[in-house]
Every structure is written in structure tokens, then in C-alpha cells.
């Protein structure tokens, strides 16, 4: 039987998808290096600096699931192009923001736009490429993610240190404008139009309940310290938990009525998936906040330039890239052991960093960061792939797409929650130290070493929980899905 020939534009289209995805990924790491410059240039408070990071991650997390479904409704190519255009426009707003409030608002818009385009990328590639080419195409996404992790801190340091046209930190956002415009124009002509399914519907009540619930939990964690932890902060957290319970009840009712759900109710009732989502949230909570703290420590506490700060962070990204390449060779073998090893490596690496920072006095040696960050980076590269495989192996094939998208959402929620907790530890201890008359070096070092305790603890929990996953038996025949066996 004759089959349709693959679209001849598929490889140029893939290049456009990769460029857009790279622009989104690099933006996550490039911002950390510029945080001290933003803080000084815009006169931002500690809480506002946290929101520059957390606002983007939170908006991205909350947008992934609804925009994934919206792509099915209106067409994935259409939504991808709108997402890239929105990300580009938001980048311009970030770069031109005259105050910290507008910058935070623009970062939220940027996160929503990133969530609009990200779910469409792999979906478009899956449909565009024939099965025998998908492995090669998807491997390029892993390569681009690794390159973004390595290039982000360095590029951010170069752009901020260069102080192009006297713009200080703004070029880290403005550089996205020509790239984004080129991606939209090229995508318009090269990416095949994938029709939507107008009969599908989004769960807007579910979106509202889930979004408000997460926001009510994270907002007071970031803002509570500035107001002395008033009663409304605890009431807001309690309200958020109630809203999340209502979200589960609403989702159950939608499932019983045969209607679409934001998060498939079958996944909510899948104990192994929800356990995996919990571990994923913990696993993802340590890293974004950690690099926020390290950048503030190096630049604000010890006078590093943005480029020096970015280069100091680079061993972590190199470790992630190397370990990700090696981990791919294992396939579905030794998943629990790999996850446990990842938790141990990161906990050990960050412990070494914690004890070094706790002991510094008037100067800090950037070479001392290399071994612990490299060890932790290897752990992260080893852990994420094994964690996702462990969790998704417990998901029936019919729910695989929804499970993958949901897991990414939990990953981002974890990142936002971690920024809130680590920021609370860091800025709270920094303020206490300054109030007690500590020197700048001692105050920053003490606050940073304390904040790293959360990172050490979170990955120690991952290490302890990893044996509780069901064991995955690798497929014995080509193309077969890995099996899950009870233990």
C-alpha cells in the first residue's frame, strides 16, 4: 500500500523549531547571571528579584497543560507561531522595562508565551517526521537543550559585562528580538499547517482552580517575609490547598461526565504516577533557586563580574551535558539505581559547595566551585531522564501524551516553589546578618550556605524515595515498551 511521502520541508522546519526552543531554554539560565545587575539598576527589593525568576517559571508551569490542549483545538502550528511572536514581544518588553514592576509583568507574559509554544514543538516534530527519522530528529532536541544549558550562563555574562550601548542587563532580552522575528517568518513558510480539532474543548474551570491554587501557595512564601508573616499569608496557603482539592473534585466530575480534563483523572488516581509527580516536584525544586543564590553571592557579595559569575557556573552545565549523553546509552536499564545515584551525586556536590561557602572569609575562589558543581551537574543529567522514564513507565499508552505534559508542569511548579523557599532562606538570613552587623562577605556567605541546605535536603529525599518506584524491565524486542513489575 502506498504511503504519503514525508514533507520535504521537515528538516528546515525542524531547524526553526530548534531555534525557538533554544531561545526559550537559554532564557531560563541567562537571567540568573543578570539578577544582581537588575537588582542594582532597577532598585529592586529581594522579593521582586525572586519574582523575576519565579514569575516566569510559574507562568510557564501553569500554561503548559491548557496551551497543550489549545494547540489540539486551534492547530499546533498556529499556536506555535503565536507563542514565538508573544515570546519575542515579551522579550522586548523585558529589555525596555523602566522599572522592576513592568519587568516582572513582562516575565510573566514571557513565561505564558513559552508555555504556548513549547508543547507544540515535539507534537509538530512527531507528526512531520516518519517513524524511522524521529529518533534522529528528537536527539537534536536533547543536543539543543544541553547547548542552551552550557551557553546560557556564558552568553549572559558576556552580554551584561559588555554593557552594549550602555544598556547593562537589557541585551539579554533584546537579543531575542531578531531571533524571534526570523523564527516567526521562517516558520510561517516552512512549518506544515497542522489542522486543529474544533470539537475539542478546554477545561477553563479546571485551569482557574489549578492556577489559583498554585499561586495562593507560592505567593505568600515569597511575599510573607517582607510583611512579617501576617495571618493572611497562612490563610492564603490554606486557601490554595482547598482550591487544589476542589480541582481534583472538579476533574473527577468532568471525567464521570465524559468531558475533557486539564489533568486526566486517570493520572490523578494512578498512585505511581502521582508519587512520581511528587518526586519530580522535589527533584526540580532545588536547581533554579540555587543558581539565583550563587549569582547573588558571587556578584553581590564578592564583586564578581557577570561574565566571571557565568563562567563559574559553567561546570554544572557541562556535567549535565556529558551525563545526559552517557545516560542515553543505558536506555531503560537501571532506572532506579540511576535516580538514586543522581540524588546522591547532587546532594554530595552541593554539600561540598555548602561547606566551602560556609568557611570563606574575605575572598572566594572560583576554582573551588568546579568540582562540586561538576559532580552535581553529572547527577542532574543522570537523574532527569531516568526519573521521567520511571514515572511514564507507569502510565498506560493512551495517557502517555497527557502524562508527559503533566510531568513537565509538575517540574516547573517545583522550580517555582524552590525559588520561593530558597529565596526565603537566603534573603531572610541575609537581612538578619546585616542587622547583626556582619560584614558583606560574611553575610552573603552565611545566607548562601544556609540556603543550600534546602538543595542538599531535597536531593537526599530523592535518594531515599527512589527505591519506592516500581522496577522497570527493559523491552526485549525492538519497539516494545518497557514493562513495569511489582516489587
Say whether both 249 and 337 belong to one domain: no
Q: Is 331 helix (H, G, I), strand (E, B) or coil?
A: coil
Which residues have a Cβ under 8 Å from the Cβ of 158 and sit 6 or more positions away?
307, 310
* 3-state class percentages of the chain: helix first, strand second, coil last, to nearest 5: 80, 0, 20
- Looking at residue 476, what DSSP letter applies? S
Which secondary structure element, helix H or strand E, spans residue 7, and what is its range?
none
Compute the C-alpha angle 448/60/247, nearest 5°: 105
Find the mean pLDDT for residues 397-404.
67
Q: Is residue 1 part of a domain?
A: no
Say whether both 196 and 288 belong to one domain: no
Q: Which of 315, 301, 393, 326 is nearest to 349 (CA)?
A: 315
pLDDT at res. 142: 65
Q: What pTM, to 2 d.p., does this model score?
A: 0.85
Q: Is 132 helix (H, G, I), strand (E, B) or coil?
A: helix
| CB of 179 closer than 8 Å to CB of 23 | yes
Say whether both 282 and 246 belong to one domain: no
Q: Is residue 3 part of a domain?
A: no
- Full DSSP string of 249-270: HHHHHHHHTT---SS-HHHHT-
Say whether both 208 and 189 belong to one domain: no
pLDDT at res. 329: 76
Say whether both 52 and 179 belong to one domain: yes
pLDDT at res. 4: 64
CATH number at residue 191: 1.20.1250.20
Q: Is 439 helix (H, G, I), strand (E, B) or coil?
A: coil
Strand partners for 484:
472
Say whether both 213 and 176 belong to one domain: no
Beta strands 483-485 and 471-473 are antiparallel
Q: Which of 410, 455, 417 is nearest to 274 (CA)?
A: 410
Domain boundary among 172, 201, 230: 201
pLDDT at res. 152: 82
The CA distance from 123 to 77, in Å, is: 9
Say whether both 221 and 191 belong to one domain: no
What are the E-state strand segments in 250-316? Answer: none
Q: Is residue 157 part of a domain?
A: yes
Range of the domain at 318: 269-487
pLDDT at res. 67: 87
The CA distance from 181 to 40, in Å, is: 31
**Total domain count for the chain?**
3
Domain boundary among 234, 261, 288: 261
Using one digit for the tens of pLDDT, what is the confidence trace for 412-451? 889 889 988 999 999 999 999 999 999 999 999 999 999 9
Q: Is residue 364 part of a domain?
A: yes
Say whether both 127 and 236 belong to one domain: no
Q: Is residue 192 part of a domain?
A: yes
Using one digit for the tens of pLDDT, what is the confidence trace for 89-111? 999 999 999 999 999 999 999 99
| CB of 296 closer than 8 Å to CB of 432 | no
| CB of 412 closer than 8 Å to CB of 57 | yes
Say whether both 345 and 429 belong to one domain: yes
Q: How confident is the model at residue 483 (pLDDT cuts 50, 70, 90)?
A: low
Say whether both 312 and 452 belong to one domain: yes
* pLDDT over 90 (residue 199): no
The top-scoring range by mean pLDDT among 60-69, 81-90, 192-201, 304-313 is 81-90
Q: Which of 404, 416, 382 is nearest to 273 (CA)?
A: 404
The CA distance from 93 to 82, in Å, is: 16
Q: How confident is the model at residue 485 (pLDDT cuts 50, 70, 90)?
A: very low
pLDDT at res. 394: 76
- Full DSSP string of 179-197: HHHHHHHHHHHHSPPPP--
Q: Is residue 426 part of a domain?
A: yes
Domain boundary among 201, 221, 246: 201
pLDDT at res. 127: 78
Say whether both 47 and 168 belong to one domain: yes
Using one digit for the tens of pLDDT, what is the confidence trace for 158-169? 888 887 887 889
Using one digit for the tens of pLDDT, what is the confidence trace for 256-295? 998 888 888 888 998 888 999 999 999 999 888 899 999 9
Strand partners for 473:
483
Dihedrals φ, ψ of 360, to 5°? -75, 155
Per the rule left: phi > 0, alpha: psi between -120 and 50, beta: everything else, 437 is left
* pLDDT over 70 (residue 333): yes
Q: Which of 242, 295, 279, 299 is nearest to 410 (CA)?
A: 279
| CB of 255 closer than 8 Å to CB of 458 | no
pLDDT at res. 434: 92
pLDDT at res. 267: 87
- Looking at residue 334, what DSSP letter applies? T
Which residue stretches of 328-438 are H helix? 335-358, 370-392, 400-435
- Looking at residue 395, what DSSP letter applies? S
Return the minimum-mean-pLDDT range out of 40-49, 103-112, 386-395.
Answer: 386-395
Say whether both 175 and 26 belong to one domain: yes
Per the rule left: phi > 0, alpha: psi between -120 and 50, beta: everything else, 166 is left
| Of 32 and 397, more confident | 32
Evaluated on CA atoms 328, 329, 332, 335, the torsion sign reads: negative
CA atoms within 13 A on the CB side of 471: 6
Q: Which of 395, 393, 339, 346 is nearest to 373 (CA)?
A: 346
pLDDT at res. 1: 39
Which residues have a Cβ under 8 Å from the Cβ of 477 and sit 6 or more positions away?
none
Q: Which of 440, 278, 286, 414 is nearest to 354 (CA)?
A: 286
Q: Is residue 473 part of a domain?
A: yes
Using one digit for the tens of pLDDT, what is the confidence trace for 177-198? 999 999 999 999 988 887 777 7
Q: What dihedral angle (degrees, nearest 10) is formed by the CA atoms of 31, 36, 37, 39?
A: 100
Dihedrals φ, ψ of 130, to 5°? -70, 160
Q: Is residue 432 part of a domain?
A: yes
The CA distance from 243 to 224, in Å, is: 20
**Percentage, residues of the chain above pLDDT 70:** 93
Q: Which of 391, 371, 367, 368 is nearest to 379 (CA)?
A: 371
pLDDT at res. 8: 79
Amino acid at each position: 500500500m502506498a504511503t504519503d511521502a514525508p514533507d520535504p520541508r521537515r528538516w528546515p522546519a525542524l531547524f526553526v523549531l530548534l531555534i525557538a526552543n533554544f531561545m526559550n531554554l537559554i532564557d531560563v539560565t541567562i537571567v540568573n547571571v543578570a539578577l544582581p545587575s537588575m537588582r542594582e539598576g532597577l532598585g529592586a527589593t529581594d522579593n521582586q528579584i525572586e519574582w523575576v525568576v519565579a514569575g516566569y517559571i510559574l507562568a510557564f508551569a501553569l500554561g503548559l497543560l491548557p496551551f497543550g490542549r489549545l494547540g489540539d483545538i486551534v492547530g499546533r502550528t498556529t499556536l506555535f507561531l503565536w507563542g514565538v511572536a508573544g515570546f519575542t514581544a515579551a522579550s522586548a518588553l523585558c529589555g525596555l522595562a523602566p522599572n522592576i514592576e513592568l519587568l516582572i509583568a513582562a516575565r510573566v507574559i514571557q513565561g505564558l508565551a513559552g508555555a504556548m509554544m513549547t508543547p507544540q514543538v515535539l507534537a509538530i516534530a512527531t507528526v512531520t517526521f516518519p517513524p524511522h527519522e524521529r529518533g534522529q530528529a528528537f536527539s537534536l532536541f536533547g543536543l539543543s537543550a544541553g547547548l542552551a544549558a552550557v551557553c546560557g550562563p556564558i552568553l549572559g555574562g558576556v552580554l551584561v559585562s559588555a554593557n552594549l550601548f550602555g544598556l547593562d542587563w537589557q541585551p539579554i532580552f533584546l537579543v531575542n528580538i531578531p531571533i524571534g522575528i526570523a523564527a516567526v517568518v521562517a516558520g510561517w513558510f516552512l512549518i506544515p499547517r497542522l489542522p486543529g480539532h474544533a470539537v475539542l474543548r478546554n477545561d477553563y474551570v479546571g485551569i482557574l482552580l489549578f492556577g489559583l491554587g498554585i499561586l495562593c501557595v507560592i505567593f505568600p512564601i515569597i511575599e510573607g517575609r517582607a510583611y512579617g508573616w501576617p495571618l493572611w499569608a497562612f490563610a492564603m496557603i490554606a486557601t490554595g490547598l482547598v482550591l487544589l482539592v476542589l480541582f481534583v473534585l472538579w476533574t473527577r466530575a468532568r471525567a464521570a461526565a465524559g468531558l475533557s480534563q486539564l489533568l486526566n483523572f486517570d493520572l490523578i488516581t494512578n498512585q505511581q504516577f502521582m508519587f512520581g509527580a511528587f518526586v519530580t516536584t522535589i527533584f526540580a525544586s532545588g536547581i533554579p533557586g540555587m543558581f539565583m543564590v550563587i549569582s547573588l553571592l558571587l556578584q553581590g557579595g564578592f564583586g564578581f563580574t557577570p561574565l566571571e559569575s557565568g563562567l563559574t557556573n559553567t561546570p554544572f552545565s557541562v556535567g549535565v551535558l556529558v551525563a545526559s549523553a552517557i545516560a542515553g546509552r543505558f536506555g531503560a536499564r537501571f532506572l532506579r539505581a540511576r535516580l538514586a545515584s543522581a540524588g546522591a551525586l547532587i546532594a554530595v556536590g552541593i554539600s561540598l559547595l555548602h561547606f566551602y561557602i560556609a568557611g570563606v572569609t574575605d575572598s572566594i575562589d572560583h576554582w573551588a566551585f568546579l568540582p562540586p558543581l561538576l559532580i552535581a551537574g553529572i547527577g542532574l543529567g543522570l537523574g532527569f531522564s531516568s526519573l521521567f522514564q520511571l514515572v511514564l513507565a507507569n502510565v498506560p499508552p493512551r495517557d502517555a501524551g497527557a502524562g508527559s505534559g503533566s510531568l513537565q508542569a509538575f517540574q516547573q511548579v517545583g522550580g517555582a516553589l524552590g525559588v520561593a523557599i530558597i529565596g526565603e532562606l537566603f534573603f531572610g538570613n541575609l537581612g538578619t546578618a546585616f542587622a547583626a552587623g556582619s560584614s558583606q562577605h560574611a553575610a552573603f556567605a552565611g545566607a548562601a550556605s544556609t540556603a543550600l541546605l534546602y538543595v542538599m535536603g531535597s536531593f537526599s529525599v530523592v535518594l531515599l524515595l527512589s527505591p519506592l518506584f516500581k522496577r522497570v524491565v527493559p523491552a526485549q524486542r525492538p519497539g516494545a515498551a518497557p514493562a513495569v513489575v511489582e516489587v
